[in-house]
Structure 1
């Protein structure tokens, strides 16, 4: 299996951290922009895209600030890969942005970044912050 590399992206977003948090931490919020459908049983979230399912475990969260999910293998065991969504707020300007931390294989990083750009664009649309 190829090693995946960690990368970070930051997107300015015009929304309050508390509203934004609802969209990055709940199945109903995430299904509006992140995946076609999102279900959760406790800490296990199931993300569905075009009929394909991926499962991830919510491993940490801080209300109004961040969520972190660890991807699970097909048999339900933890992988070493995660994705994290952090809400950043500038103390002085109060500008809000969302930081994405994710992993991709070296030859898939650009494609992966593009996917996030599209998803964050959908999120901005849902929030009315375009």
Structure 2
């Protein structure tokens, strides 16, 4: 009887090919872009109630204070509603355009995030009595 031939050690598994690694990288990059676009869309929709889009008849809540107001559009039935817009005067910062009309005049040229928006306007506001 002859002894059995020695067995060859099993070959180590081949390393993943470069194309497989590149495919994984592409998937990660695409997922990252999709997440960034999703976050951007959510922030855009959340910012749609910005005061620079306020129209006559809209009601506003003040999340700031009287010196540094941070106004946002809310429903007039909302318990946070403090002002009602009675006139919008675009392309000016002249609050005297509201004299005799309202309790409060608000002018703004910054958006809610305090970045230059390039818009100048005055909102003539009437206080909501609670």
TM-score when normalising by structure 1: 0.24
Bigger Rg over Cα: 2
Which has the larger share of strand?
A: 1
Structure number with greater CO (CA < 8 Å, separation at least 6) is: 1
TM (norm. structure 2) is 0.24
